[in-house]
Amino acid sequence: AQTVTQSQPEMSVQEAETVTLSCTYDTSESDYYLFWYKQPPSRQMILVIRQEAYKQQNATENRFSVNFQKAAKSFSLKISDSQLGDAAMYFCAYRVIQGAQKLVFGQGTRLTINP
Protein backbone atom coordinates (compact mmCIF):
# COMPACT_ATOMS: atom_id res chain seq x y z
CA ALA A 1 0.00 0.00 0.00
CA GLN A 2 1.11 3.52 -0.71
CA THR A 3 2.00 5.65 2.30
CA VAL A 4 3.06 9.26 2.69
CA THR A 5 5.02 10.48 5.70
CA GLN A 6 5.60 14.03 6.88
CA SER A 7 7.97 13.88 9.82
CA GLN A 8 7.66 17.53 10.87
CA PRO A 9 4.38 18.19 12.71
CA GLU A 10 5.30 21.87 13.09
CA MET A 11 7.74 24.29 11.52
CA SER A 12 8.34 28.00 11.94
CA VAL A 13 10.25 30.54 9.91
CA GLN A 14 10.96 34.24 10.00
CA GLU A 15 9.18 36.36 7.46
CA ALA A 16 11.23 36.72 4.25
CA GLU A 17 13.32 33.66 5.08
CA THR A 18 13.32 30.27 3.36
CA VAL A 19 11.82 27.10 4.82
CA THR A 20 11.78 23.48 3.62
CA LEU A 21 9.05 21.00 4.47
CA SER A 22 9.87 17.31 4.21
CA CYS A 23 7.87 14.45 2.73
CA THR A 24 8.70 10.84 2.00
CA TYR A 25 6.51 8.21 0.41
CA ASP A 26 6.45 4.54 -0.25
CA THR A 27 5.20 2.98 -3.46
CA SER A 28 5.99 0.19 -5.89
CA GLU A 29 4.58 2.17 -8.80
CA SER A 30 6.81 3.91 -11.32
CA ASP A 31 4.35 6.48 -12.64
CA TYR A 32 2.59 8.77 -10.23
CA TYR A 33 1.92 12.36 -9.23
CA LEU A 34 3.03 14.12 -6.08
CA PHE A 35 1.32 17.20 -4.70
CA TRP A 36 1.63 19.80 -2.00
CA TYR A 37 -1.62 21.24 -0.68
CA LYS A 38 -1.99 24.27 1.56
CA GLN A 39 -4.80 24.48 4.14
CA PRO A 40 -5.21 27.92 5.70
CA PRO A 41 -7.48 28.50 8.71
CA SER A 42 -10.44 28.74 6.33
CA ARG A 43 -10.05 24.94 5.85
CA GLN A 44 -9.95 25.28 2.07
CA MET A 45 -7.57 22.81 0.42
CA ILE A 46 -5.44 24.69 -2.10
CA LEU A 47 -3.14 22.97 -4.57
CA VAL A 48 0.28 24.62 -4.31
CA ILE A 49 2.45 22.58 -6.64
CA ARG A 50 2.60 19.20 -8.34
CA GLN A 51 5.30 16.95 -9.73
CA GLU A 52 5.02 14.15 -12.29
CA ALA A 53 7.29 11.27 -11.33
CA TYR A 54 8.48 10.78 -14.91
CA LYS A 55 9.84 14.33 -15.04
CA GLN A 56 13.35 14.78 -13.72
CA GLN A 57 13.08 18.55 -13.56
CA ASN A 58 11.84 19.87 -10.23
CA ALA A 59 8.58 21.80 -10.38
CA THR A 60 8.52 25.50 -9.52
CA GLU A 61 5.62 27.88 -8.93
CA ASN A 62 6.79 31.39 -8.09
CA ARG A 63 8.17 31.23 -4.51
CA PHE A 64 7.38 27.53 -4.19
CA SER A 65 9.66 24.80 -5.48
CA VAL A 66 10.19 21.12 -4.84
CA ASN A 67 13.16 18.85 -4.47
CA PHE A 68 12.06 15.55 -5.96
CA GLN A 69 14.37 12.59 -5.36
CA LYS A 70 12.68 9.61 -6.98
CA ALA A 71 15.19 6.97 -5.91
CA ALA A 72 15.02 8.15 -2.32
CA LYS A 73 11.22 8.60 -2.55
CA SER A 74 11.55 12.08 -1.18
CA PHE A 75 9.51 15.15 -2.13
CA SER A 76 10.28 18.30 -0.15
CA LEU A 77 8.71 21.73 -0.54
CA LYS A 78 10.79 24.89 -0.37
CA ILE A 79 9.11 28.21 0.28
CA SER A 80 11.31 31.21 -0.47
CA ASP A 81 10.77 34.73 0.84
CA SER A 82 8.16 33.50 3.33
CA GLN A 83 5.13 35.72 3.75
CA LEU A 84 2.59 35.95 6.55
CA GLY A 85 -0.03 34.55 4.18
CA ASP A 86 1.97 31.33 3.87
CA ALA A 87 1.01 30.34 7.41
CA ALA A 88 -1.08 27.18 7.08
CA MET A 89 -1.13 23.41 7.27
CA TYR A 90 0.75 21.84 4.38
CA PHE A 91 -0.07 18.37 3.15
CA CYS A 92 1.98 16.19 0.87
CA ALA A 93 -0.07 13.83 -1.31
CA TYR A 94 0.43 11.02 -3.79
CA ARG A 95 -1.66 9.65 -6.64
CA VAL A 96 -0.92 6.94 -9.19
CA ILE A 97 -1.34 7.83 -12.86
CA GLN A 98 -2.94 4.55 -13.88
CA GLY A 99 -5.41 2.81 -11.66
CA ALA A 100 -6.96 3.94 -8.39
CA GLN A 101 -7.42 7.70 -8.51
CA LYS A 102 -7.43 8.26 -4.77
CA LEU A 103 -5.13 10.82 -3.20
CA VAL A 104 -3.06 9.53 -0.28
CA PHE A 105 -2.06 12.25 2.18
CA GLY A 106 0.64 12.70 4.77
CA GLN A 107 -0.10 13.82 8.32
CA GLY A 108 0.53 17.47 7.55
CA THR A 109 2.98 20.12 8.75
CA ARG A 110 1.79 23.27 10.47
CA LEU A 111 3.85 26.23 9.27
CA THR A 112 4.07 29.39 11.34
CA ILE A 113 5.52 32.61 9.96
CA ASN A 114 7.12 34.89 12.53
CA PRO A 115 6.97 38.60 11.66
Report the C-alpha gap between 29 and 22 in whole angstroms: 21
What is the per-residue binding string for other proteins in 64-93, x denoting contact by CB under 8 A?
Answer: ---------------------------x-x
Report the C-alpha gap between 10 and 33 in whole angstroms: 24
Report the C-alpha gap between 67 and 81 in whole angstroms: 17
User: Which position among 25, 37, 68, 90 is part of the footprint of other proteins (CB under 8 A)?
Assistant: 37
Q: How are beta strands 104-105 and 64-69 bridged, if at all? A: unpaired
User: Which position among 25, 82, 88, 108 is part of the footprint of other proteins (CB under 8 A)?
Assistant: 108
User: Which position among 75, 76, 106, 111 is part of the footprint of other proteins (CB under 8 A)?
Assistant: 106
Site size for other proteins (CB under 8 A): 23
Residues 6+ apart with CB under 8 A from 9: 107, 108, 109, 110
- Asked if residues 25 and 35 have their Cβ atoms less than 8 Å apart, the reply is no
In the bound state with other proteins, the residue whose beta carbon lies nearer, of 104 and 113, is: 104
For position 43 contacting other proteins by CB under 8 A, the verdict is: yes
Point out which residues bind other proteins (CB under 8 A).
33, 35, 37, 42-45, 47, 50, 52, 91, 93, 95, 97, 100-108
